[in-house]
Amino acid sequence: MTEVINNRYKINRELGRGGMAVVYEATDLLLDRRVALKMLKEEYASDEDFIKKIKLEARAVARISHPNVVNIYDISLDDDNYYLVMENIAGENLKNIISRREKIPVIEALDIASQICSALMVAHRSNIVHCDIKPHNIIVTPQNQVKVTDFGIARAVSSSSKLDITTSVEGSAHYFSPEQARGAEITPLCDIYSLGVVLYEMLTGQLPFTGKTAVNVALKHINEKPERIRLREEGVPEEVQELVMKALAKRPEDRFQGALAMRNAIKNALAAAREKKRSKEEEDLEEFSGEDLDKTIIHSRSPGEMLERMEEQDSRGSQAEDAEVSEVSAHEKEENQTGQALKQQARLIFTAVLIILGLLVVAYFSYTIFMDVPVVEVPEVVGYDLEEAESILQQEGLNYAVAEDRINHPELEENKVANQSPAAGEEIRQTREITLVISAGPEYVEIPELEYMTLREARIALESRGLSVGEEKYDFSSEHRQDIVISSEPPAGEEIVQGGEIDLIVSQGPSPYGY
């Protein structure tokens, strides 16, 4: 492989290999940013029908903008190799995480599944079915943000006539829905089933079905019920087990009827698990602040015992004084000194205990007040005006701040919310503030003169202005040699919203018919 692809993407290192492609980290020399290049393997890159489908799917997915979906920037050809240019994510795929850790704790697993549901929700609303939800296609960042990848490529593969169950890509058969295994119609509920398998694997460290071949596994998905989670992993709550089993229902109509319904069930289970954990922490704190604290701080005597001993010393000193007045001096001084020392020691210990207990009480109530702040899901306010956004946020008990600088947005008019942080779908405590960025309206740019440029030159010229190539239409031309741009639609000199697409009319060379 050449060091620079298409005179633009400099290969830095290989990131990994999968069933369909090899992924590289690269630098986009034009825009000076890190990207991921997914180079399709030869059997896919040489299939024209597949390439046509993946172009359509990639174009559809590229329009999705969501914090839990890996962005696709471009799909192109270089030396007969097709490659996708994607967002480069710093993180680890979920399959490696499960293999390394063996299983994922309940709260963490539910949080990951909830974020995957958020990605599926936005995709399904755009009529995009992933078709290959599996841990290999899920990246978790160091900040525990989930990124789902391979939307377009998975859908294109699933619809390709080349793919059958015996040649399925790496690990996919273990996550296929019964419909996929039978070759039936693909619907969003296929993704729900696959997510159920992923959640099952996170909680137990095991797949619900295994076999010697992909066909064996597929038949089990069709005919067998998975072993219940609690038989494999005792620490999983009953409601979580039922949630997973519902997602893994054989009949699509028995599953959650969409990613939103599944995410709502996950949110309820997540809230219950967090409450249970919080109650356990409070019990541990109360227990520590009681008997264990006394045993830890006072190893020998309590303050009461020290005071009692002090009184006994005073009594003995008084009796000795009454009985033998003549021997008062040395003995009395010694007893009085001992009594004073004991009194001082008792006071110090008693004061220390009171201070420590006071600090623990303050810490406990501070902790309780903080932990009692409800956790809510951040609503979507992008696209609303500020007044509407404020009303939506107030319904969730959330406060907001407006960023000082505004940004241009290709689709939102001026004074609409163009961005929000944290993003919609994230779960936060009500004390956290939402930052809103307001739109300054679309930014318009002038379409450059593209005539007589090569396709690559035209693409670079457009991208430098924040535009992209739409359709490539071909026509005969005696004036323009083959693969040279004849004109553009809209034409050069017109203004268009930044981020828009420009269709190119490209020369096929002179007409063989002489016109």
Q: Convert 180-214 to b/e letters by CB count within 10 Å (16 or more is b).
A: bbeeeebebbbbbbbbbbbbbbbbbebbbbeeeeb
More confident residue, 370 or 333: 333
**Residue 16 backbone phi and psi in degrees, to 5:** 170, 170
Spatial contact of 106 and 230, defined as CB atoms under 8 Å apart: no
Cis amide linkage into residue 142, ω under 30° from 0: no
**CATH fit for domain 375-438, picks 3.40.640.10, 3.40.630.30, 3.30.10.20, 3.60.15.10:** 3.30.10.20
Which two three-digit tokens encode residue 87?
């967002």
Which residue in 28, 74, 111, 132 is the catalytic one? 132
pLDDT computed for residue 168 by the predictor: 45
How distant is the alpha carbon of residue 79 from its chain centre? Answer: 35
**CATH fit for domain 444-507, picks 3.30.10.20, 3.30.300.30, 3.40.720.10, 3.40.50.2000:** 3.30.10.20
User: Quick one: fold of 92-276?
Assistant: Transferase(Phosphotransferase); domain 1 (1.10.510)
More confident residue, 490 or 163: 490
H/E stretch holding 335 reads helix 328-371
For the stretch 262-277, pLDDT in tens is 999 999 998 888 888 8
More confident residue, 117 or 215: 117
Cis amide linkage into residue 490, ω under 30° from 0: yes
Which two three-digit tokens encode residue 244?
């997973």
Q: Is the pLDDT of residue 116 over 50?
A: yes
**Residue 458 backbone phi and psi in degrees, to 5:** -65, -40
More confident residue, 287 or 304: 287
Known catalytic residue at 191 = no
Instruction: Map tokens 């995709």 to a residue.
Output: 123
- Distance between CA atoms of residues 121 and 129, nearest Å: 10
Arithmetic mean of pLDDT over the chain:
80
CA distances (Å), 326 to each of 318, 321, 331, 336, 339, in order?
13, 8, 11, 17, 21
196: β partners: none
**Residue 408 backbone phi and psi in degrees, to 5:** -75, 145
User: Can 4-87 and 92-276 be said to share one CATH topology?
Assistant: no
Spatial contact of 456 and 7, defined as CB atoms under 8 Å apart: yes
Burial class, 366, CB count within 10 angstroms (exposed 0-12 / middle 13-18 / buried 19+): exposed
Q: Hey, what's the torsion of the CAs at 279, 259, 62, 499, to 10 degrees?
A: -80
pLDDT computed for residue 265 by the predictor: 92
- Distance between CA atoms of residues 109 and 206, nearest Å: 14
Q: Which percentage of the chain shows pLDDT scores above 70?
A: 78
Spatial contact of 207 and 95, defined as CB atoms under 8 Å apart: no
Domain boundaries, the chain: 4-87, 92-276, 298-371, 375-438, 444-507
Residues in the chain: 515
- Distance between CA atoms of residues 397 and 424, nearest Å: 15
pLDDT computed for residue 435 by the predictor: 93
Closest C-alpha among 112, 33, 108 to residue 71: 33
Q: Which of the residue ranges 93-102, 189-198, 316-325, 375-384 would you say has the lowest mean pLDDT?
A: 316-325
> Going by C-beta distance under 8 Å and a sequence separation of 6 or more, which residues neighbour residue 253?
none
For the stretch 467-507, pLDDT in tens is 889 889 999 998 999 899 999 999 999 988 888 899 999 99
pLDDT computed for residue 169 by the predictor: 46
3-class DSSP state for residue 136?
helix
Spatial contact of 118 and 66, defined as CB atoms under 8 Å apart: yes
CATH of domain 4-87: 3.30.200.20
